[in-house]
């Protein structure tokens, strides 16, 4: 790792980008309960450069000036704050999928055969195009105990790198397969998450079933809506735009469904 005095003497843009990379490595280590890739002297050197040579916000400057003895938790928050300031200063703001999250623990020991789930709760994802959204759907489905995910043939692949990143390891935990709409299991009721349906607080969720969610732009296809013989549920919204991200909508739906179903299901 480059020495502090050399780092301090670099041209401003080069210096800031190098510090940014160092902070990314440090935050990744702390998020995963590992040791920092440098000692406390080096950390204080980075903070000294930030205080004296980088145009950081007054709030962050105040935090850095008053801190001497730091816990790992406090170091993590200071590194995160400085990292995001440097993203802004260098003009390299991260995309959602570039944010740093801790790695899931014991994925190798928690496979789809042993993970807890609500039996008979499945998701049909139709024509989701954005990898980040699909990964988010997998993460939410696993968190709320969905048993399986079916993907339409036109969905983005779960193996796409950005989908893998946003799914946080859950693609390996939740069983999934591509399945044509007409080949969905016939023994489970099917309902749709779409606008214009029954408000969520009044909807009668099936104990078991398949919920269908549609594309970011067009929602569910007419064919999918016809397949939803158990009804269509909608999320009441009150803002002027009345629109939310498909991953957010799915999270709200899953929470409501599982709350309605969990008292009668013995798998969890």
The pLDDT tens digits along the chain (268 residues) read 899 999 999 999 999 999 999 999 999 888 888 899 999 899 999 999 999 999 999 988 888 887 666 788 889 889 999 998 998 898 876 655 455 556 555 544 445 557 889 999 999 999 999 999 999 999 999 999 999 999 998 899 999 998 998 998 999 999 999 999 999 999 999 999 999 999 999 999 999 999 999 998 889 999 999 999 999 999 999 988 878 999 999 999 999 999 988 765 555 4
90 & 184 share domain: no
Residues spanned by the domain of 210: 110-264
80 & 126 share domain: no
133 & 210 share domain: yes
Report residue 189 as tokens: 């009721």
**Distance separating alpha carbons of residues 119 and 253, to the nearest angstrom:** 17
Closest CA to 142 of 254, 54, 263: 254
Say how far residue 241 (Cα) sits from the centre of its chain.
23
Three-class SS of residue 146?
coil
115 & 87 share domain: no
Total of domains in the chain = 2
Three-class SS of residue 238?
coil
Place of tokens 């993590």: 76
Please check whether residue 221 is in contact with residue 135, taking contact to mean a CB–CB distance below 8 angstroms.
no
pTM flag (> 0.95) = no
């Amino acid at each position: 790792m480059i020495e502090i005095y050399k780092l301090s003497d670099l041209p401003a843009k080069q210096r800031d980008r190098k510090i940014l990379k160092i902070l990314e490595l440090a935050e990744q280590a702390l998020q995963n309960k590992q040791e920092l890739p440098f000692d406390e002297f080096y950390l204080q050197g980075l903070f000294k450069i930030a205080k004296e040579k980088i145009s950081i916000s007054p709030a962050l400057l105040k935090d850095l000036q008053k801190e001497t003895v730091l816990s790992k938790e406090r170091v993590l928050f200071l590194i995160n704050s400085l990292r995001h300031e440097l993203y802004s200063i260098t003009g390299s703001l991260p995309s959602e999928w570039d944010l740093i999250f801790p790695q899931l623990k014991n994925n190798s020991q928690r496979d789809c055969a042993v993970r807890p789930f609500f039996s008979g709760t499945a998701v049909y994802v139709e024509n989701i195009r954005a990898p980040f959204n699909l990964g988010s759907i997998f993460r939410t489905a696993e968190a709320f105990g969905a048993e399986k995910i079916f993907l339409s043939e036109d969905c983005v692949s779960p193996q796409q790198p950005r989908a893998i990143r946003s799914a946080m390891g859950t693609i390996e935990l939740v069983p999934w397969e591509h399945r044509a709409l007409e080949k969905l299991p016939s023994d489970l009721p099917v309902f749709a998450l779409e606008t214009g349906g029954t408000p969520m607080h009044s909807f009668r969720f099936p104990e078991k079933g398949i919920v269908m969610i549609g594309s970011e732009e067009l929602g569910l296809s007419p064919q999918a809506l016809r397949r939803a013989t158990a009804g269509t549920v909608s999320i009441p919204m009150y803002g002027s735009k009345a629109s939310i991200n498909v991953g957010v909508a799915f999270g709200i739906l899953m929470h409501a469904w599982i709350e309605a179903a969990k008292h009668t299901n013995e798998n969890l």
